[in-house]
């Protein structure tokens, strides 16, 4: 009898622990950060707030339900400002310099930014100091084609990576105003120009 009671208690305990949802500690974390942080240089306290994309990715551990992801990706895509002159390719030489430049958007930066591209990607064949957080972009257009659709994808991806993959780890360089239209054209040329070393 006593044994049965113990077994029953154990079973209820097990059920209770299964039924208790995992407590979400994000509200505690955000409240703590908002108490403890202060604005510094160009990095204001607003940077601690989630926008709709960040909120969805944080809530779902970077894997939101398809419906949520589709809706937000469409919004992000619609917010891309395409160059008014319709030209997506700038100067690949300038693009290489921008890709090399890892500065920008920290509290110790004044304003303006490089692309930080080599921090995470292999790109040109002469730069062996490249990161591996993102995929290799070497021979980007040689492998994918030089057509208008690929040009548009490259520019759009640089402008807002989240328009194509909601919880991509890549920053939204145009969306947040880190890069200018000309800088993004130059980076697109680095990837797309048949003369760029990337495509040799």
Partner 1 sequence: MRHALVLGIVAAIAAAAPWPQATAQVPDPTAAEFDKFREIMEQDNPAELFEMKGEELWRARRGPKNASLEQCDLGLGPGVVKGAYARMPRYFADADRVMDAEARIVHCMITLQGFTYAALAKQPFSSLTRTPDPVSLVTYVAAQSRGMKISAPQSHPKERATYETGKAIFFYRAGAFDFSCASCHGSDDKRIRTQPLPNFTKPQQAIRAVQGWPGYRMTGGVMHSLQWRMNDCFRQQRFPEPGYASETVSALLAYLTVNANGHVYRGPGIKR
Looking at 78-86, 90-98, 170-178, 187-195, which segment touches partner 1 (CB under 8 A)? 170-178
130 or 155: CB nearest partner 1 = 130
Residue 98 sits in the site that holds partner 1 (CB under 8 A)? no
Select from 8, 11, 47, 148 the one that contacts partner 1 (CB under 8 A): 47
| Shortest spacing between CB 87 and partner 1, in angstroms | 27
**Contact with partner 1 (CB under 8 A): which of 17, 20, 66, 128?**
128
Verify binding: residue 8, partner 1, rule CB under 8 A.
no
Nearest approach, Cβ of 11 to partner 1 (angstroms)?
25
For residues 156 and 123, what is the distance between their CA atoms, to the nearest angstrom?
Answer: 18
> Long-range contacts: 164-169, Cβ < 8 Å, 24+?
164/73, 164/77, 165/73, 166/53, 166/56, 166/57, 166/64, 166/68, 166/69, 166/72, 166/73, 166/76, 167/53, 167/56, 167/57, 167/60, 167/62, 167/63, 167/64, 167/69, 169/120, 169/133, 169/134
Of 5-13, 47-55, 73-81, 188-196, which segment contacts partner 1 by CB under 8 A? 47-55
CB of 96 to partner 1, least distance (A): 15
Is 176 a binder of partner 1 (CB under 8 A)? Answer: yes
* Segment interacting with partner 1, rule: CB under 8 A, options 8-16, 52-60, 90-98, 180-188: 52-60
Residue 132 touches partner 1, criterion: CB under 8 A: yes
Give the burial string for 49-64 (b: 16+ CB within 10 Å, else e): eeeebeebbbeeeeeb
Name every residue whose Cβ is closer than 8 Å to that of residue 123 and which is 6 or more positions away in sequence.
96, 99, 117, 130, 137, 138, 140, 190, 191, 198
Angle at the Cα of 144 from the Cα atoms of 196 and 137, rounded to 5 degrees: 55
Shortest spacing between CB 102 and partner 1, in angstroms: 8
Question: What is the contact surface with partner 1 in residues (CB under 8 A)?
Answer: 23-26, 28-30, 32-33, 35-40, 43-45, 47-50, 53-54, 57-58, 61, 102, 105-108, 118-120, 128-133, 162, 169, 171-172, 176, 178
């Amino acid at each position: 009898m006593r044994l049965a009671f113990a077994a029953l208690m154990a079973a209820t305990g097990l059920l209770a622990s299964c039924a208790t949802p995992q407590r979400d500690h994000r509200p505690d974390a955000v409240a703590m950060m908002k108490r403890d942080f202060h604005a510094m240089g160009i990095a204001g306290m607003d940077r601690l707030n989630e926008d709709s994309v960040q909120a969805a990715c944080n809530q779902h551990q970077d894997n939101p339900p398809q419906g949520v992801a589709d809706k937000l990706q469409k919004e992000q895509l619609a917010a891309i400002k395409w160059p008014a002159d319709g030209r997506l390719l700038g100067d690949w030489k300038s693009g290489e310099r921008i890709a090399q430049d890892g500065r920008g958007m920290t509290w110790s930066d004044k304003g303006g930014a490089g692309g930080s591209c080599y921090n995470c990607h292999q790109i040109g064949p002469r730069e062996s100091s490249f990161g591996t957080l993102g995929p290799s972009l070497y021979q980007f257009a040689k492998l994918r084609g030089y057509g208008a659709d690929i040009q548009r994808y490259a520019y759009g991806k640089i402008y807002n990576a989240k328009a194509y993959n909601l919880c991509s780890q890549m920053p939204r360089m145009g969306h947040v105003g880190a890069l200018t239209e000309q800088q993004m054209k130059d980076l697109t040329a680095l990837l797309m120009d048949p003369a760029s070393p990337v495509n040799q």
